[in-house]
Chain A
Amino acid sequence: MFNNFPLWPDRASTAAGNVDALFIFLLIVSGMMSLLIFVALTYFAARYRHRRGVLAEQIEGSIPLELTWSIIPLFVFMVIFAWGAVVYFKGRTPPRDSTEVYVVAKQWMWKLEHAEGQREINELHVPVGRDVKLIMTSQDVIHSFFVPAFRMKQDVLPGRYTVAWFRATKPGTYHLFCAEYCGTQHSGMIGSIVVQEPAQYEAWMSGGTSGPLSASGEKIFAELGCATCHRTDTQGRGPNLQGVFGKLVLLADGRSVTADENYIRESILDPGAKIVNGFKPVMPTFQGLVSEEQLNALVAYVKSLSQPIATPIKTAATGDQNNDKTEGSQVQ
């Protein structure tokens, strides 16, 4: 019954080591702090036990001591803060060349769709050593995508995308939990992340698929008649979408926004929210007309328009070459 009793979680992503290192540092620091306090307490408690005829010695306080035990902890806290911030910043910044997986959460399941077109439910296959970016949204309430072995967690909200990423380092099957309470079967909203060696993963990937997500997006784009306005020249009633993704867009009200996943999403569901400079607010809303999955496909399609050379399906080897490319190092 109790044969399986771990005291430390699996460490299966690049982030896991960073989080564990800081955690261990904190264990040491807080261990030392509590030791200091408990030893002092125990010593004073024993040494200054009440004895008949001995009066306590009255001490007012000491400003140097007060300053010491304010400033030293503050300094230690700042080190922890800075370290924690660095770990967090890394964990929040998906490398540019990540493989993308679209996640749709709903009560009480996870629907996952690879950019290459594979669909999965409550299970996600990923290869070792490749950066995977999750673009997530929820169909109903707030959920949270939590993989303890990756030390990764991100709430998944209705009505917008949130993003997370990881790079798995160790083949195996790991827990996927919903970490934000979401109703009756919250504790049943679990699944697994299957991390495979690249060769195995390629084999799994080559299983039946209806083609890449962007291709289904293109189909929907045509079906909904988007192309009548969003033409590939400058004559359309809507902006030309070629090369838009990831660029700064100037809006009619003078602001400018980066065309990211959330911007594309909003422009489809609530077109009046951010009008591109030089265009009229003539686009109808598609709220309720497209499902979350179709929306993901459309976003994937618009993104693909900014990649003139179709992203090659990376092998693990090329994935490794792109190891340390982050936002800053990207040259377009």
Chain B
Amino acid sequence: MSMATTTVQPVERENYLNKEYGVGSWLLTTDHKRIALLYLISITFFFFIGGFFALLIRLELLTPASDLVQPDTYNKLFTMHGQVMVFFFLIPSIPAVLGNFLVPLMIGAKDLAFPRVNLLSWYLYIIGGVMMLHCMLTGGVDTGWTFYTPFSTAFSNTKVIEAGLAIFVAGFSSILTGLNFVVTIHRMRAPGMTWSRLPLFIWAHYATSIIQILGTPVIAITLVLVVAERALHLGIFDPKLGGDPLLFQHLFWFYSHPAVYIMILPSMGVVTEIIACFARKRIFGYSFIALSSIAIAVFGFLVWAHHMFVAGISVYAALVFSLLSYAVAVPSAVKVFNWTATLYKGSIHYDAPMLYAFGFIGLFTMGGLTGLFLAALGIDVHVTDTYFVIAHFHYIMVGGALMGYLGGMHFWWPKISGKLYPEGWARLAALIVFIGFNLTFFPQFVLGYLGMPRRYADYSHMPEFQVLNVLSTAGATVLGVGYLLPMLYFLWSMRYGKPAPDNPWNAAGLEWMTSSPPTTFNFEKEPIVTWEAYNYDELDRAHKEEVKVAG
């Protein structure tokens, strides 16, 4: 053995990582896999900035008095935490990293349809990100991530225009990514890769792309209008100038509600892939999961005013939007039932990605069910704008979206990096994240029903809220450790990890049929697909026979 290693230096196969070296080969690349890594680095950077703000928020709330930072600073912290996490982390997270990497691989294509547009979208993201950083470093913004008027247009003394323009620019990155995916999925599928053979990850990204293309321009226009009113005093939203502040809320939520689905749908796609692989089964109700993604994307556009039940809209409008909100809950429930049913009679493995997927189902179920409370008009009046809402959307967007993102990162890390991550550490991190998450956010449901309003720097007149806030802050520190760990061992594995085989999970899907890491053009020759997605019976039977022969 030792002789073999010393005499025959294993030649590393050429792949997308080692094909070219140098900064230029990365910054001018049109390879979707390299662009995915550029995104990975940039969104991780913003994730830790947003996380740092979250940590300061939780530390401030450890004691009722406003004693760690000034109220103005606190207001900036929650504003920029929201803006950074939503626009610079969650929205690009799965689509721009895993989607970018996997969409062409999964459908058997060489690249996205428009490789240069793909690079452009990363540059737009970076320009937006730099503008956001500049805004933060020169004073920051304090409007809440929601930019509600007329506060944002006439009263705030902070960098509203800068933040608005930063998000405006980053929005185009999102639009271009969506556009690229839609065209790629329509036009670039390998021979035999029919719509009904697509992995559900692709269906989820298709639905997400539709929202990105149709929704994002609306927020872009809305932010331009905010800038116009603030800079030029055009009367659009401010009643003093003849505008209507509710118009802003309608426009803002017309994008920002569907934006929640931009964050959660790709995560659902990831979880579907993971569950099928680690249960060694075809997914239960393929077409129902596929169509529920489309249903969520479509219905998701019709529920925006459920953010406005106490804002001053008419009772009848509220009734319609409440009803439609329940309609969008059905396809989400259908997905959870199908994932659960997929486990039935499976052969379940508990590797780290599967633990994240289980965590996702648990937390998403909690988030979804508390959504039923908020959609109920009578209850919403009491709990909207309290910590109940905060807890609810963190269960969806952090419990759900981020859990799926981490699950996906573990599942495809061997393919992306060509290295194996340390399994024991990964399972531990999944457990820490799950416990830390619940400890942070579950107490906030109780706080919300008790009536603690969101965005309060100071609750010294309500000391009865302190116990739950202390619990929440304690949870946040645990959660912080849970998020740091994967970053550390992923980095560690890039240097010290064992080389990954091409298909370490024995998983179905074209991305596993090429080398790890893949070559620049993904496949040696164009694959021809003759099988359904999730053909785990064939894979396992073949594997079993191999073992028999070997034995």
Contacts and interface: CB of A to CB of B under 8 A. Distances in A.
A26 B373 contact: yes
A33 interface: yes
Interface stretch (A71-79, A127-135, A208-216): A71-79
A90 B451 CA distance: 21
A5 B382 contact: no
B183 to A, nearest CB: 30
B385 A179 contact: yes
A160 B239 contact: yes
A41 B466 CA distance: 35
Contacts of A103: none
Interface string B465-499: 01100000000000000000000000000000000
Contact of A182 (B151, B281, B284): B151
B136 interface: no
Interface stretch (B86-94, B416-424, B428-436, B455-463): B455-463
Contacts of A8: 449-450
A177 B310 CA distance: 14
A56 B347 contact: yes
Contacts of B454: 179, 181
A30 B366 CA distance: 9
B49 interface: no
Contact of B466 (A2, A154, A159): A2
B415 interface: no
Given A49-B348, A73-B330, A81-B376, A6 B381 contact: no
A175 B146 CA distance: 26
Contacts of B361: 37, 41
B381 A91 contact: yes
B288 A34 contact: no
A58 interface: yes
Contacts of A180: 148, 385
A124 to B, nearest CB: 16
Given A26-B376, A84-B375, A151 B456 contact: no
B537 to A, nearest CB: 5
A140 B155 contact: yes
Contact of B369 (A1, A33, A60): A33
A90 B315 CA distance: 11
A77 B372 contact: yes
B20 interface: no
Interface stretch (A61-69, A199-207, A218-226, A243-251): A61-69
A231 interface: no
Given A34-B369, A48-B343, A80-B372, A181 B284 contact: no
A303 B544 CA distance: 85
Given A48-B345, A160-B239, A187-B459, A66 B381 contact: no
Interface in B522-551: 536-537, 540-541, 544
Interface stretch (B216-224, B251-259, B319-327, B405-413): B319-327
Given A23-B449, A77-B326, A92-B315, A57 B345 contact: yes
B408 to A, nearest CB: 20
Contacts of A159: 239-240, 245
B326 A48 contact: no
Given A23-B379, A54-B347, A155-B310, A81 B463 contact: no
Given A23-B449, A186-B75, A2 B373 contact: no
B456 A187 contact: yes
A86 interface: yes
A36 B211 CA distance: 32
Interface string A14-34: 000011001100100110011
Contact of A187 (B310, B457, B464, B536): B457
Contact of B150 (A59, A141, A178): A141
The secondary structure that dominates the A interface is mixed
Nearest to B239: A159
A53 B347 CA distance: 10
Grouping DSSP codes into helix (H, G, I), strand (E, B) and loop, the B interface class, with mixed when no group exceeds half, is helix
Interface stretch (A109-117, A142-150, A314-322): A142-150
Contact of B333 (A22, A73, A81, A140): A73
Contacts of B333: 69-70, 73
Given A65-B341, A155-B311, A50 B536 contact: no
A58 B281 contact: yes
Given A140-B155, A153-B381, A181 B239 contact: no
Interface in B218-234: none
A184 to B, nearest CB: 5
Contacts of A55: 280, 347, 537, 540-541, 544
A198 interface: no
Interface in B323-340: 323, 326, 329-330, 333-334, 336-338, 340
A61 B341 CA distance: 9
A26 B369 CA distance: 9
A31 B370 CA distance: 10
B192 interface: no
A157 B310 CA distance: 11
Interface residues of A, number: 90
A289 interface: no
B285 interface: yes
Contact of A18 (B246, B378, B466): B378
Given A41-B343, A62-B285, A70 B348 contact: no
Interface size of B as a range: 35 or more
Contacts of A279: none
A183 B454 CA distance: 13
A26 B374 CA distance: 11
Contacts of B384: 153, 179
Q: Which of A53, A65, A78, A141: most chain B CB closer than 10 A?
A: A141
B350 to A, nearest CB: 8
Contacts of B326: 74, 77-78, 80-81
B362 A38 contact: yes
Given A40-B340, A59-B282, A77-B372, A177 B451 contact: yes
Contacts of A181: 75, 144, 146, 148, 151, 454-455
Contacts of B340: 37, 40-41, 44
B209 interface: no
Contact of A4 (B281, B319, B464, B536): B464
Nearest to B287: A61
Contacts of B239: 157-160
B449 A9 contact: yes
Interface of B: 66, 71-72, 75, 142, 144, 146, 148, 150-151, 154-156, 238-240, 245-246, 279-282, 284-288, 309-312, 315, 318-319, 322-323, 326, 329-330, 333-334, 336-338, 340-341, 343-350, 358, 361-362, 365-366, 369-370, 372-373, 375-382, 384-386, 446, 449-451, 453-459, 461-464, 466-467, 536-537, 540-541, 544
Given A48-B279, A182-B151, 17 more contacts: A5-B467, A38-B362, A41-B362, A44-B348, A48-B345, A49-B347, A56-B347, A57-B345, A60-B286, A70-B330, A80-B375, A141-B154, A151-B381, A153-B384, A159-B240, A177-B451, A181-B75
5 contacts: A50-B347, A142-B311, A148-B451, A158-B240, A182-B151
